[in-house]
Structure 1
């Protein structure tokens, strides 16, 4: 049995396992059966699995609508990639919860691959949400310059770059912290610490502040416009998604960052709760689309995917010169000089 320290404390599921060994030894420790704390942990696991299953169904439906029913726009491309990342995160969580309560043996390298994939898709979801709020903010406040200078396939290019960046970050941490690749690189080494700080810097000090301030700008705009903002359902969708993200996920990431340096925070209950909060975050977006899309919906008998179109509806906010109706122009011809 391996009793090594956790791989990456910035990865939520891995943080839970600090001092409780890797995935393959969880159920064999006899930690929770028959105790009050154990019943609490089991309850959290059951609730989390239920939430993950609901999230899988919801994100699966949204994914199918985006593939078959929804018109492809600059923002639906981001949403499509965000849904794909959330689906992968939820699958990982379900596997983790199953392994937590069952005596299945998991190979060490398989568990590390799972953790690396989790880091990859989780970071990608953060990056896509940041890209959505940033591009919407640019569209609202510099519409003319943005519309004329924006490349045609910018959304696809940005998504490819963000996937690549997330993959790079995950691989850097994975290679730096596991001695399988370089014997001088191990958990707790300088290289592992530097790689973890690199990941935290990108997530906590670059993407999260950009996401926060661009969404705050959109929120101020919605509040300022009052009733006129009711038609801007996409702005409301973005604001709610980011708000839920900061409630359920950002605080967990901050705790993970602190726990990397302070081992006293290493306890199974708070970090299992962090898994619960992460599960809620990854499962919540389909219900946000459903709520915002049906908000002030007039027609009841409509196709099921209409709520998603309404939730992703936005205006270009282009400042174009007023155009004269052709009929009015024919009735009132311009005087010739």
Structure 2
């Protein structure tokens, strides 16, 4: 499904040994972060799916956690062949399928994060208009469109680059990955612009009631994506388009991709935790607080207060 790796120049024995040691260290760190990220995103998915609490924030977070979970599941297996080529027994078509699925989930997660960041900009700039005029099922429609667009691109790239097409399929395969490169650039630009605008709105906008903790979660997620996840997209496009990339950059991009997805659940729970409490709150309550619900546990139950972004009744 993907094009073969470009040939590397012959390296001296010392360089090969150093690259092998570096790959083993990065592989160990990547596998540890991937397993931790699987547990964290699975916990977020379970807490959101088992709770009737729904608002646009939770819908976006549910889909982002699902994309990250699929990515890390594929990443845990495929990264072994990426860092130790020729030393594993994973069939080539299995590795190609997992690798392409990783990029598909990468694009879906990037699109979802750009969408929720743009919505937060609207909520910060025009809060009253946004809450009154916002379509009720906008979050669901945007998430479904992101998954559908990513799936279509995944099928096009897989079909165009599959072996049955042979040599005539090479130009079509390159065109599919060039389209993916354009989409990656557009999503990255939209993500950076919306994140910067949201930061300016929150920090320098007119005074208004506190917007809750979800904008901070979005801003941190944007920063993590641009700093940790973007190198993976660059590496994968360079590999698919047969551009030569340094081995250590490729290895570090795999590590930072796992770090980004393992850190998001940690950031979410840290933002939702209430400092100074003598007892620990339930994880469900911590997650709700991170999504904009300032809930306090009382003897008789919970009293939620609406955040900035709330589904219009």
Q: Deviations over 1:5-32 (max 9, x none)?
A: x925xxxxx8xx5437xxxxxxxxxx99
TM-score by structure 1 length? 0.76
Partner of 1:239: 219
Instruction: Give yes or no for contact 2:103–2:233 (8 Å, CA) kept in 1.
Output: no
Please tell me whether the aligned partners of residues 143 and 317 of structure 1 are also in contact (alpha carbons under 8 angstroms).
no
CA displacement at 1:304 relative to structure 2: 2.4
RMSD: 3.0
- Structure 1 or 2, whichever has the larger Rg, is 1
Q: 1:192 to 1:294 in 2, by over 3 A?
A: same
Give, in whole Å, the separation in 1 of the partners of 2:309 and 2:194. 17
May I ask how many residue pairs the two structures share in their alignment? 291
Q: What is the aligned counterpart of 1:149 among 127, 133, 139?
A: 133
Determine which of 260, 266, 284 is the counterpart of 2:245. 266
Q: Which residue of 1 aligns with 2:98?
A: 114
Instruction: Identify the match of residue 263 of structure 2 among 275, 284, 288.
Output: 284
Q: Is the 8 A contact 1:78 1:155 kept in 2?
A: yes
1:83 aligns with 2:65: yes
Q: Does 1:40 align with 2:28?
A: no
Provide, for residues 314-333 of structure 1, a one-character-per-residue CA deviation record: whole Å limited to 9, x for no partner: 31499xxxxxxxxxxxxxxx
Q: Distance in 1 between matches of 2:14 and 2:58?
A: 44
Of 48-57 and 61-70, deviating more is 61-70
Identify if the C-alpha distance between structure 1 residues 217 and 296 changes in structure 2 by more than 3 Å, giving closer, same or farther.
farther
Retained in 2: the 8 A contact 1:233–1:311?
yes
Give the conservation status (yes or no) of the 8 Å contact 1:32–1:39: no
Structure 1: give runs of 5+ residues left out of the alignment: 1-5, 9-13, 21-30, 319-337
3-state SS in 1 of match to 2:135: coil
Q: Give the CA deviation at 1:151.
A: 2.2
2:161 is matched with 177
CA distance 1:97–1:152, change in 2 (3 Å): same
CA separation of 1:242 and 1:139: change in aligned 2, threshold 3 A: same
CA contact (8 A) 2:153 2:180 kept: yes
Q: Which runs of 4+ in 1 moved over 6 A?
A: 31-34, 226-229, 259-262
CA shift at 1:236, angstroms?
0.5
Instruction: Identify the residue that residue 218 of structure 1 maps to in structure 2.
Output: 198
Alignment match of 2:39 (pick from 57, 60, 78): 57
- Give the direction of change, closer, same or farther, for the CA distance of 1:37–1:179 in structure 2 (3 Å limit): closer
Give the equivalent residue in structure 2 for 1:137: 121
TM-score normalised to the size of structure 2?
0.82
